[in-house]
Amino acid sequence: MYDLKAEGLPPTEKFSRRVFHSAVVVGGYVYIDGGEVSWLEGSGFVLIPVNSTISIPLNISWSTSSVQQYFGLILGRTAAGVPVLDNQCAWVDPSGKAFTIWGGIATHQGEPPPSHIWRFSVDGKGGGSWTKQEPKGSTMIELGKNVRSTHAAWTQDKEKGYWIGGYADSSTDTSVSGETTLALPGMVEYNMSTGELRNKSTLPGLGLYGTTINGAAQFVPGFGSKKEGVILLMGGAESPIVLPVGVNSLIGRDFNSVYLYDTLTEKWFNQTTKGERPPARQKFCLVGVKGRNGTYEIFMYGGLSQQNWAASEDVYVLSLPGFVFFKASLPSGTSTPRLDHACGLAGKRQMLSIGGTDASNPGMPNRLFEPDPWKNGLGIFDLTKMRWTDKYDADAEEYESPDVVKQWYDQGGLESVAWSSADVKSLFIDESRLKSSDSDSIPSTAQPTDSPKSSSSQPPVPGRANASSAIIGGTVGGVVFLLLLGGLAWMLMVRKRKVVKAAKDCEEDEKNKVRYSGPQQLECNRYMPPEMDGGFIGVEVPGFRERMELSADRNAELPG
């Protein structure tokens, strides 16, 4: 007989907080993995890393107070050698029968484990088992050069997982020592079908440095070049690569604009937003869902305000292709301030919020011991009605865009969009359909589809090419291309070592400061330039080496 509390499942009446976990929907169940849990024990609290995986069924209805009777508890993590990590990501396998975890930071600032890719295969009954994924081909080299980071933005399409930015320190990767903290530019792309792991540039396009910390990403199907989909990145902060000890050097990103990554052309763009924009924040969660009439809505809940350091209880929705924000009008007392939580689409139209903390009790670990006002740390949000409830409805109707969203489009709101460029507009508006459409849906949009592999004949988007990609992909002849391949193989072997050395050089030699002028240089500045987007907005940084609360993984585009 095992102790449920010791396995991360305290009784409902003693439950306090669940934090730093990931959650994913696979095979009709929500799986909660990683992170830590706290509960009331006598006159105090207990906080432990969660050494198990928990499942919650979605084929039956339940309430947050009674759901624990349906919980599945999957043990065997230690026996399989799977590390216990905070702030990892979880990508659903294309088969729909597994998920992959990637990245993360050692719990309680411990020593980081070896960097491996782990796969959890579900059994269709709320259980499953772990296996280590062996790299294929050059993927071993990629694993060796990627510095594992945490607090990144992550998302996925139907085949690939994406991990954008984050930061690295001695608790995320063995190559980082002492008090060194690195904000990592670039993006890791993992093909779950082939096992291929690739590094992608985030410059030009993603801010000044190509870094992102504490933000969130959402894959949006059906838009983009040939309707292959785009990744939308928003919120959080950016930073020069070297984060000085004890200095808040992060600049918050507001929601006046969002970043877009076209997955087919591999180019970054920026698009302005309108409507009831949220105040700048970090550590929020996102859930995306396709509307019936050509829209795609992204719901955002909670987060830590970068203005007053208070946790938010607000829910916003960003509707595409209008790039317009709406704030949910919530009855008083129905929502709770929350950050460090995970969210997922449960059933057809409900957002399930799992865990999280409230910043009203500042500092770590204090805020992990304040009892959660929601039973078992769970909340359910009806995305159509925009209302919180404590009951999950397995028979809920199909999602429809909220009335306020439909009214905006019905009143011609799409015509008021100020597109940042013709390239961005072409990712979302199919001009060829403007004159031929006779439907009641939004006639000028590229209709979102369930599959990102649309057969549309829409041509690729012309845009600002990444300089490296343009040279390698378009102008290099056969001989030069072979030389580049040889140089790339050498670079992959030494890049990781050079990153750490460069970081140390920045710390030791203040007389030779290097201005960041592209993806091939480390930034040694101790301040943030005033021309950064959004101006200076403080961002929560580690206190007692507290997690910056993001996601983790070895990252991309480090200087070579």
pLDDT of residue 147: 80
Work out the percent of the chain whose per-residue pLDDT is above 70: 73
How high does pLDDT run on average in the chain? 80
Q: What does the pLDDT average to over 375-396? A: 98
Which amino acid would we find at residue 249?
S
pLDDT of 135 reads 62
Is pLDDT of 521 > 60?
A: no
- Which domains can be identified in the chain, with CATH numbers? 18-403 (2.120.10.80)
What are the pLDDT digits (tens) for 358-376? 987 767 778 899 999 999 9
CA distance 274 to 122: 41
pLDDT at 287 over 60: yes
Sequence-ordered list of residues with C-beta below 8 angstroms from that of 236, at least 6 positions apart, any chain: 153, 212, 213, 214, 215, 216, 252, 253, 282, 539, 550
Q: Is the dihedral of CA 216, 355, 120, 547 positive or negative?
A: positive
What's the whole-number mean pLDDT along residues 391-401?
Answer: 98
**pLDDT tens for residues 235-276?**
999 999 988 766 567 889 999 999 999 999 999 999 999 999
Percent of the chain with pLDDT over 90: 61
**Helix (H) or strand (E) run with residue 160 in it:** strand 160-164
Whether the predicted pLDDT of 210 surpasses 60: yes
**Token match 């309108």: residue?**
274
For 23-78, write each residue's pLDDT tens digit: 999 999 999 999 999 999 988 899 999 999 999 999 999 999 999 999 999 998 88
Ranges assigned E (strand) in 27-75: 29-33, 36-41, 44-49, 53-57, 62-63, 72-74
> Higher-confidence residue: 418 or 476?
418
pLDDT surpasses 80 at 130 = yes
- Mean pLDDT on 126-137: 85
- Please say if the pLDDT value at position 385 is more than 80: yes
Taking residues 197-222, what's their average pLDDT?
95
pTM comes to: 0.80
209 pLDDT more than 70: yes
Decide if pLDDT at 506 tops 50: no
Residue 128 pLDDT > 50, yes or no?
A: yes
Q: Where are the beta strands (DSSP E) in 253-410?
A: 257-262, 267-272, 274-275, 281-282, 285-290, 296-301, 304-305, 315-320, 324-327, 342-346, 350-354, 378-382, 387-389, 391-392
User: The tokens of 378 are what?
Assistant: 């769970």
Q: Where are the alpha helices (DSSP H) in 39-190?
A: 77-80, 139-145
**Burial (CB count within 10 angstroms: exposed 0-12, middle 13-18, buried 19+), residue 292:** exposed
Q: Is 400 exposed, middle or buried (0-12, 13-18, 19+ CB in 10 A)?
A: middle
List helix spans (H) across 75-193. 77-80, 139-145
Pick the residue with more confidence: 111 or 22?
22
Residue 428's pLDDT is: 98
Render pLDDT for 536-556 as a digit per residue (tens, 0 to 9). 333 343 333 344 333 333 333
Closest by Cα among 296, 329, 294 to 314: 329
